[in-house]
Amino acid sequence: MIKPQKTYQSQLKQYSSIHPGEFSWPFWPAVPLYPYGKRQTLCKEVVKDTIWTFDQLQGILYVIVPIRMTVVKLEAGGLLVYAPVAPTSECIKLVRELEAEHGDVKYIILPTISGIEHKVFVGPFARRFPQAQVFIAPNQWSFPLNLPLSWLGFPPGRTKVLPEDSTKAPFADEFDYSILGPIDLGPGQFEEVVFFHKRSRTLLVTDSVVSVPDKPPAIIQLDPYPLLFHAKENGLDVVEDSEANRRKGWQRICLFAFYFRPKVLETIGWGQAIRDAFKAPDSSRKAYFGLFPFKWQKNWKQSFDALRGDGRLFVAPILQTLILNRAPKETLDWADKVANWDFQRIIPCHFDSPINTNPHQFRQAFNFLEKQPFGERSQALPEDDFELLKKIDESLNKSRIVPPAKEKV
C-alpha cells in the first residue's frame, strides 16, 4: 500500500536512495520544460484505498509548479487514470504497486484539448498499459497542422473520444463528467472535461479552478534550488536554505506563474543586470550565469496574500483574461451544471490538492464573468496585477489573432 509521506525530511531521505535513472524522462525535448529529462514523482493517498495523486513538477526559469495525475479505484476492481504525467520508471513502479492490490489500469483519460503539458504524456503512458482504453476530450487539435490522433501518439484501436453524453461512457455508474467548451481562441480552442467521482464525492479538474497553498508543495521541496533562487532580492544576494526562504521563493513563484509580471515586480535594465552578474557569488550555468533582472517591491507579500485569499478557489488570471471571457455564458452554464454535483473536495492538476470545498464555492469562483456576481465581490483578484495580461489581450485583439472578449452576463 502506498502511504502519504509524513514530512519533507522523510521524503528527502526516501528519494536520496533512488537511482537517478528512475527519474529519467528521455522525451522531454517534445515539451522542453524544467526539470527537462529528470522528473521525480510523489504519490499520496487522498481517500483510503480509493484515490491517489501522483505529483511531478514543471516550469520555466525556475517558475515551477506541480503537475498532477489522479488515480481512482473502480468498484469492480481496476483503476481509472485522469491526466497522466510522465511515465518514468519510478512513476510506473508506483502505479504497478496499486495495480497489484487494486487491479489493472482500465481507463486513461485526457481531459483537455489545449494543454500540451498534459497531452504529451498520454501516448507514452498508454503504451505502458496496453490493456487500458484511452478516452480523450472531443475536438482535439494540433498546431500548426491538425494531425491524425495516431500521429499525435495516441494508440490506434483503443483510443476513443469521450461521448458528449456522459451516461454513455463505460464508467458512467461511477463517474459523471461535464465538458467546458470548446471555446474558440482563433488559432485553436480551449476545452476541459471535469470528472465527478460519485462514491467519494470528489471532483477532478485540470486547469479550470485552483487554490494556492501558503508554503511550497512537497514535490517542489525535493529540490529547493528554484525556491531559493526566487527568494533572492538581487543577483548579489546569498540566500540560506531555510523554511522562511523556501516559503518566500514559493510565494514569488506563484505571482510569476499567475501574472507573468505582477504590479509589485520591477525589471532592471539588462546593462545593470549584466554588471551585477559579473559580481554575483554564483555565476554558474545553474544560476543563469548570475543574471537576475528582477526587483520586488517591499509590499509584494500583499499581492500574494490577495492572490491566495486564505486558500480559496479561484480561476487563474490567464483563463479570466484570455480564455473564459470569450464565452462567459457557456462557461457559467457549465459551472452551474458542475455546481449541482454534491462534491466535498476538488483535485486539480496544479497547485494545491486536495481542496476541501463545496459546490457553492466552486460556482463563486466564476463570478468574474457576471455583472451581478454570484456571491461576494471580495473574491475578485487585484486589477493592478492584471496589467501585463491585459496588454497581451489588447495586442492579440489588435492583431486579430484571437476573437475579442464578450460582455459579462
In three-state form (DSSP H/G/I as H, E/B as E, the rest C), the secondary structure along 75-125 is CCCCEEEECCCCCCHHHHHHHHHHHHHHCCEEEEEECECCCHHHHHHHHHH
Q: Which residues contact 408 (CB under 8 A, 6 or more apart)?
A: 328, 369, 370, 371
What pLDDT shows up at residue 201?
98
Q: At what angle do helices 300-308 and 243-259 cross, to 10 degrees?
A: 70
Please state which architecture CATH assigns to domain 8-211+318-364: 4-Layer Sandwich (3.60)
User: Confidence class of residue 16 from pLDDT cuts 50, 70 and 90?
Assistant: low
Look at residue 5 and tell me whether its pLDDT is greater than 50: no
Query: In this prediction, what percent of the chain has a pLDDT beyond 90?
Result: 77
Q: Which residue has the cell 507579500?
A: 301
Domain locations in the chain as residue ranges: 8-211+318-364, 218-310
**Three-state secondary-structure class, residue 306:** helix
pLDDT tens for residues 31-78? 889 999 999 999 999 999 999 999 999 999 999 999 999 999 999 999
Residue 14 has pLDDT above 50, yes or no: yes
List the single range of 9-23, 267-281, 305-319, 393-407 with lowest mean pLDDT: 9-23
Nearest C-alpha neighbor of 314 from the set 409, 393, 214, 208: 208
pLDDT tens digits, residue range 327-368?
A: 999 999 999 999 999 999 999 999 999 999 999 999 999 999
Of the given ranges (5-19, 71-85, 129-143, 315-329), which has the lowest mean pLDDT? 5-19
Mean pLDDT for all residues in the chain: 91
Higher pLDDT, 311 or 146: 311
Pair type for strands 63-73 and 202-204:
unpaired
What is the residue-wise DSSP string for 146-197?
A: ---GGGGTPPTTSEEEPPSSGGGSTTTTTEEEEEEEEEE-SSSEEEEEEEEE
pLDDT in tens, 115-141: 788 999 999 999 999 999 999 999 988
3-state helix, strand, coil in the chain (%, to 5): 35, 20, 45
What is the pLDDT at residue 11? 47
Q: Which three cell numbers stand for residue 390?
A: 491585459
pLDDT at 2: 43
Q: Mean pLDDT across the stretch 210-225?
A: 96
- Calculate mean pLDDT across residues 188-196: 95
Distance CA 193, CA 135 (A): 11
Quote the CA–CA distance of 130 and 222 in Å, as a whole number: 32
Is the pLDDT at 400 greater than 60? The verdict is: yes
CA 112 to CA 182: how far, in whole Å? Answer: 10
33-43 tens-digit pLDDT: 999 999 999 99
Question: In 3-state terms, what secondary structure has residue 356?
Answer: strand
In the beta sheet, which residues pair with residue 69? 54
- Is the predicted pLDDT of residue 300 greater than 50, yes or no? yes
**Tell me, what's the pLDDT at 13?**
54
Locate 372 and state its grid cell: 451581478
Does 207 or 11 have the greater pLDDT score? 207
Residue 186 near residue 19, CB atoms below 8 Å? no
Total Cβ atoms within 10 A of residue 340? 11
For residue 4, pLDDT over 80 is answered with: no
d(CA 266, CA 202): 40
pLDDT category of residue 302 using cuts at 50, 70 and 90: very high
What's at 185, amino acid-wise? Answer: L
* Close Cβ partners of 298 (under 8 Å, ≥ 6 residues apart): none
CA torsion sign, 120 to 217 to 256 to 394? positive
What pLDDT does 7 receive? Answer: 44
Q: What percent of the chain has pLDDT over 70?
A: 93
